[in-house]
Structure 1
Amino acid sequence: MEPVRKADFHCDVIWKLLEDPTLSFERDDQGKLDVTLPRLKQAGSTFQTFALYIPDRMEKTMVPLLQSVDLFYRKVLALPEMAFIRTAGDVAALRRNPGTIGAMLSLEGADGLQGDLAMLRILFALGVRAAGLTWNNANWGADGVLEPRGGGLTKKGRAFVEECNRLGILVDVSHLSDRAFWDVLQLSGKPVIASHSNCRSLCPHPRNLTDEQIKALLAAGGLIGVTFVPQFVSSTRAPAGIADVLRHVERICEFGGERQLMFGSDFDGIDQYVRELTHPGELHRLQDALSANYSDALVGAFFESNAMTFLATHLPQ
Structure 2
Amino acid sequence: MRYLPMLFFVLVSCKDSPDKKSEPKTFEEIHNQAIFVDSHNDILTLTIEKGYIIDDDLKGKTHSDLKRMKDGGLDVQFFSVWSDGKQVNPYNFANRQIDSLDAVLKRNPDKIVKVANIAALLTVEKQHKIAALIGIEGGHQIEDDLTKLDALYNRGARYMTLTWNNSTAWATSAFDETQDKDLEQKGLTDFGKKVIERMNTLGMMIDISHVGEQTFWDVIDNTTKPIIASHSSVYNICPHFRNLKDEQIKAMAKNGGVIQINFNSGFIDPTVGKKENEFLEKHKTEIDSLKQSGMHPYLAEESIYSKYHLEAEELKAPFNLVIDHIEYIIKLVGVDYVGIGSDFDGIVLPPKQLDDVTAYPLITKALLEKGYTEEDIDKILGGNILRVLKANELKK
Does TM, normalized by the shorter one, top 0.5? yes
Give the whole-Å Cα distance in 2 for the aligned partners of 1:41 and 1:221. Answer: 30
Which of the numbers 24, 42, 51 marks the counterpart of 1:12?
42
Count, aligned residues? 315
The alignment partner of 1:48 has SS state of strand
Question: Which residue does the alignment assign to 2:100?
Answer: 71
Aligned amino acid, residue 334 of structure 2: G
Give the whole-Å Cα distance in 1 for the aligned partners of 2:352 and 2:59. Answer: 22
Change beyond 3 A, Cα 1:66–1:205? same
Question: Which residue does the alignment assign to 1:158?
Answer: 193
Give the whole-Å Cα distance in 2 for the aligned partners of 1:241 and 1:76. Answer: 35
Change beyond 3 A, Cα 1:84–1:48? same
Gaps of 5+ in 1: none
State whether structure 2 residue 346 is matched by structure 1 residue 288. Answer: no
Conservation of the 8 A alpha-carbon contact between 1:242 and 1:289: no
Change beyond 3 A, Cα 1:103–1:253? same
Aligned amino acid, residue 182 of structure 1: W
Which of the numbers 166, 178, 181 marks the counterpart of 1:137?
166
Regions of 4+ moved over 6 Å: none
Which of the numbers 116, 120, 127 marks the counterpart of 2:145?
116
Question: Which residue does the alignment assign to 1:247?
Answer: 324
Report the TM-score, using the length of structure 1 for normalisation: 0.94
Conservation of the 8 A alpha-carbon contact between 1:92 and 1:312: no
Aligned amino acid, residue 179 of structure 1: Q
Change beyond 3 A, Cα 1:179–1:42? same
Report the TM-score, using the length of structure 2 for normalisation: 0.76
Give the whole-Å Cα distance in 1 for the aligned partners of 2:106 and 2:228. Answer: 24
Q: CA deviation at 1:18?
A: 1.3
Q: CA deviation at 1:260?
A: 2.0
Change beyond 3 A, Cα 1:310–1:205? same
Change beyond 3 A, Cα 1:138–1:43? same
Change beyond 3 A, Cα 1:144–1:278? same
Give the whole-Å Cα distance in 2 for the aligned partners of 1:31 and 1:24. Answer: 14
Question: Which residue does the alignment assign to 1:186?
Answer: 221
Change beyond 3 A, Cα 1:29–1:87? closer
Moved more, 116-125 or 287-296: 287-296
Q: CA deviation at 1:315?
A: 3.0
Q: CA deviation at 1:35?
A: 1.7
Gaps of 5+ in 2: 1-25, 273-314
Change beyond 3 A, Cα 1:278–1:29? closer
Which of the numbers 54, 73, 78 marks the counterpart of 1:44?
73
Which of the numbers 125, 133, 142 marks the counterpart of 2:154?
125
Q: Which has the higher helix share?
A: 2
Q: CA deviation at 1:76?
A: 4.1
State whether structure 2 residue 255 is matched by structure 1 residue 228. Answer: no
Give the whole-Å Cα distance in 1 for the aligned partners of 2:394 and 2:104. Answer: 25
Which of the numbers 191, 211, 220 marks the counterpart of 2:246?
211
Deviation per CA, 1:10-48, whole angstroms, max 9, x where unpaired?
Answer: 010111111122x12012346322121111111111111
State whether structure 2 residue 353 is matched by structure 1 residue 276. Answer: yes
Change beyond 3 A, Cα 1:262–1:29? closer
The alignment partner of 1:290 has SS state of helix
Return the index of the structure with the highest Cα Rg: 2
- Any residues of structure 2 matched to 1:46-65 within 5 Å, and which? 46-56=75-85, 58-65=87-94
Give the whole-Å Cα distance in 2 for the aligned partners of 1:30 and 1:194. Answer: 28
Moved more, 163-172 or 230-239: 230-239
